[in-house]
């Protein structure tokens, strides 16, 4: 921002920006996160307060809460995720377009919390890849805003074009295909590999 | 006329033992086979017109294992009566009372869901809170509180979803159209 320059009259002084394409993309992504609120219990109330005028998430560009996963890129799992709800949560996550991030809001979604129980997922990282965990029961809206700021820092460190244009499977025509996924074949999480496919981690016998 | 006198008049000639619970409610102990007839007489002859709940208590490892409890309310007399019956743990079942009190259908279904007690004659006895394919009964005392393979149904769903064949052709691009 600054004083406006009439570029028509001074073509030799046209402003330009010198940056890396990765940084430009990350700058756009981190300042326009569109959250998909998955309010499962009392944390959802704090989530609403966070988006509302008092805490005003719009200051950080993430106030456009979308209730369709197709229009969102940040999933905020706010509250207790039960195993019965886990299939729905995973389906919603898979329906979100890339790139996408997940915030586990509150202890219930971070670790199961006080529900050391047969019906509750003991941490949503059993089924989803979590970027930021927020402790608290429920956390204050400030804490979740802090998590979003931390997520913005994390997005700054990403290398979107390095992922697209390099790697073992890189092809001149297709790129790395790291973001090309068939429907219903979502991203596996680290913990879901350990937990859900026990046969996959059996080491092969040395010859 | 006290609650006990009214109940004794209604159940004249039938076997039951009565006691009074800690908070003063009349409790009748009957045989499981006699529950239906007892409840019918309480409803028709003693004025107990509302069923408050049907539930069970797991007395594991005591035998007989389950203690079923029905509580009824008389709105005319403003008093309550509780009917209890002990049933065996190997094949727990008891006759339903939904023909007397249709509202007990949900309570009995929940009792099946949580304790695995079958109510003979209940047409819609399926899972109420737990997933339909769930195999265990969570409120039984020998059920671990962290569950038995709590992620199994999710894992099966996840595997089926990943193994499902995918049609990558959009309708307007495939050659058939």
CA B169 to chain centre: 50
Rounded mean pLDDT, B119-127? 90
- Given an 8 Å threshold on Cβ–Cβ distance, is A116 in contact with B145? yes
Residue B24: give its domain's CATH number.
3.30.460.80
- Given an 8 Å threshold on Cβ–Cβ distance, is A84 in contact with B145? no
A128 falls within a domain: yes
The shortest CB-CB distance from A83 to any of B154, B161, B166 is to B154
Q: What is the residue range of B122's domain? A: 3-129
- Given an 8 Å threshold on Cβ–Cβ distance, is A183 in contact with B138? no
B85 falls within a domain: yes
- Given an 8 Å threshold on Cβ–Cβ distance, is B166 in contact with A196? no
Distances in Å between the Cα of B106 and the Cα atoms of B20, B97, B100 are 27, 12, 14
pLDDT (0 to 100) of residue B177: 40
Which of A9-18, A61-70, A197-206, B102-111 shows the lowest per-residue confidence on average (mean pLDDT)?
A197-206
B144 Cα to chain A: minimum distance (Å): 8
Structure tokens at B13: 């000639």
Residues of A within 8 A of B149 (CB-CB) are none
pLDDT (0 to 100) of residue A169: 74
A115 falls within a domain: yes
pLDDT (0 to 100) of residue B176: 47
| Residue B87 scores a pLDDT above 50 | yes
Q: What is the tens place of the pLDDT at every residue in B145-176? A: 888 888 889 988 888 877 776 655 555 554 54
Distances in Å between the Cα of A137 and the Cα atoms of A51, A126, A134, B72 are 18, 20, 10, 39
Query: Which pTM value belongs to this model?
Result: 0.79
Question: Percent of chain B having pLDDT more than 90?
Answer: 64
Instruction: Provide the 8-state DSSP code for A94.
Output: H
Structure tokens at B175: 């050659």
A61 falls within a domain: yes
Q: What is the residue range of A79's domain? A: 53-160
A195 Cα to chain B: minimum distance (Å): 9
Q: What is the tens place of the pLDDT at every residue in A143-152? A: 999 999 999 9
Which H/E stretch holds residue A50? helix A43-51
| Residue A173 scores a pLDDT above 90 | no
pLDDT (0 to 100) of residue B48: 94
Rounded mean pLDDT, B50-78? 93
| Residue A134 scores a pLDDT above 90 | yes
DSSP collapsed to 3 states, A124-167: HHHCCCCCEEECCCCCCHHHHHHHHHHHHHHHHCCCHHHHHCCC
Measured CB to CB, residues of chain A less than 8 Å from chain B are: 83-84, 86-87, 90, 116-119, 121, 126-127, 182-185, 192, 195-197
Average pLDDT of chain B is: 89
Angle formed at CA B50 by CA B47 and CA B52, multiple of 5 degrees:
130
A155 falls within a domain: yes
A79 falls within a domain: yes
Q: What is the ipTM of this complex?
A: 0.78
List CB contacts of B63: < 8 A, sequence separation 6 or more: B88, B89
| Residue A75 scores a pLDDT above 90 | yes
B136 falls within a domain: no
Strand pairing of B93-95 and B118-120? parallel
Q: How many whole angstroms separate alpha carbon A145 and alpha carbon A69?
A: 21
pLDDT (0 to 100) of residue B128: 92
B56 falls within a domain: yes
pLDDT (0 to 100) of residue A1: 41
| Number of domains present in the structure of chain A | 1
- Given an 8 Å threshold on Cβ–Cβ distance, is B154 in contact with A86? yes
The shortest CB-CB distance from B154 to any of A87, A118, A185 is to A87
A84 Cα to chain B: minimum distance (Å): 7
B165 falls within a domain: no
| Number of domains present in the structure of chain B | 1
B115 vs A179, more confident? B115
A102 falls within a domain: yes
A70 falls within a domain: yes
pLDDT (0 to 100) of residue A206: 57
The strand ranges marked E within chain B are 17-20, 26-29, 50-58, 66-74, 79-87, 93-95, 118-120
- Given an 8 Å threshold on Cβ–Cβ distance, is B146 in contact with A117? yes
Angle formed at CA A77 by CA A74 and CA A80, multiple of 5 degrees:
175
B26 falls within a domain: yes
A22 falls within a domain: no
Identify the residue among A94, A118, A182, A196 best suited for mutation to test binding to B, counting B beta carbons within 10 A and taking the highest. A118
| Residue A22 scores a pLDDT above 70 | yes
B57 falls within a domain: yes
The shortest CB-CB distance from B154 to any of A118, A127, A185 is to A127
B54 falls within a domain: yes
B22 vs A187, more confident? B22
A81 vs A177, more confident? A81
- Given an 8 Å threshold on Cβ–Cβ distance, is B166 in contact with A86? no
B73 falls within a domain: yes
Q: Is B142 on the interface with A (CB under 8 A)?
A: no
Band of residue B94 on the pLDDT scale cut at 50, 70, 90: very high
A2 vs B140, more confident? B140
Residues of A within 8 A of B144 (CB-CB) are 118
Q: What is the tens place of the pLDDT at every residue in B107-122? A: 999 999 999 999 999 9
| Residue A89 scores a pLDDT above 90 | yes
Q: Is B126 on the interface with A (CB under 8 A)?
A: no
pLDDT (0 to 100) of residue A186: 58
Q: How many whole angstroms separate alpha carbon B98 and alpha carbon B102?
A: 4
- Given an 8 Å threshold on Cβ–Cβ distance, is A184 in contact with B147? no
Residue A78: give its domain's CATH number.
3.40.50.12280
């Amino acid at each position: 921002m600054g004083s406006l320059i009439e570029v028509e009259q001074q073509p030799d002084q046209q402003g330009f920006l010198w940056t890396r394409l990765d940084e430009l993309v990350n700058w756009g992504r981190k300042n326009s996160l569109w959250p998909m609120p998955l309010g499962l219990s009392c944390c959802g109330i704090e989530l609403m307060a966070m988006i509302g005028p008092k805490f005003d998430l719009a200051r950080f560009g993430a106030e456009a809460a979308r209730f369709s996963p197709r229009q969102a890129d940040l999933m905020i799992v706010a509250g207790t995720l039960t195993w019965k709800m886990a299939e729905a949560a995973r389906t919603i996550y898979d329906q979100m377009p890339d790139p996408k991030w997940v915030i586990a809001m509150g202890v219930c979604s971070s670790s199961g919390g006080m529900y050391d129980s047969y019906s509750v997922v003991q941490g949503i990282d059993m089924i989803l890849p979590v970027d930021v965990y927020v402790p608290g029961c429920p956390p204050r809206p400030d804490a979740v805003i802090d998590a979003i700021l931390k997520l913005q820092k994390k997005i700054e460190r990403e290398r979107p074009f390095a992922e697209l244009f390099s790697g073992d499977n890189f092809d001149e025509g297709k790129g790395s295909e790291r973001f090309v996924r068939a429907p219903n074949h979502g991203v596996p999480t680290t913990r879901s590999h350990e937990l859900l496919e026990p046969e996959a981690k059996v080491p092969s016998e040395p010859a | 006329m006290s609650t006990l006198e009214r109940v004794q008049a209604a159940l004249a000639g039938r076997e039951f033992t009565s006691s009074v619970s800690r908070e003063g409610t009349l409790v009748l102990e009957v045989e499981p086979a006699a529950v239906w007839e007892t409840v019918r007489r309480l409803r028709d002859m003693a004025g107990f017109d509302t069923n408050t709940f049907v539930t069970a208590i797991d007395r594991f490892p005591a035998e007989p294992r389950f203690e079923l409890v029905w509580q009824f309310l008389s709105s005319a007399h403003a008093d309550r009566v509780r009917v209890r019956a002990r049933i065996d743990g190997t094949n727990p079942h008891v006759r339903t009372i939904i023909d007397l009190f249709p509202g007990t259908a949900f309570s009995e279904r929940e009792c099946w869901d949580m304790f695995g007690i079958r109510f003979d004659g209940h047409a819609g006895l399926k899972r109420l809170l737990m997933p339909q394919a769930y195999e265990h009964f969570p409120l039984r005392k020998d059920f671990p509180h962290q569950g038995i393979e709590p992620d199994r149904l999710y894992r099966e769903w996840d595997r089926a979803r990943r193994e499902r064949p995918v049609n990558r052709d959009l309708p307007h691009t495939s050659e058939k159209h």
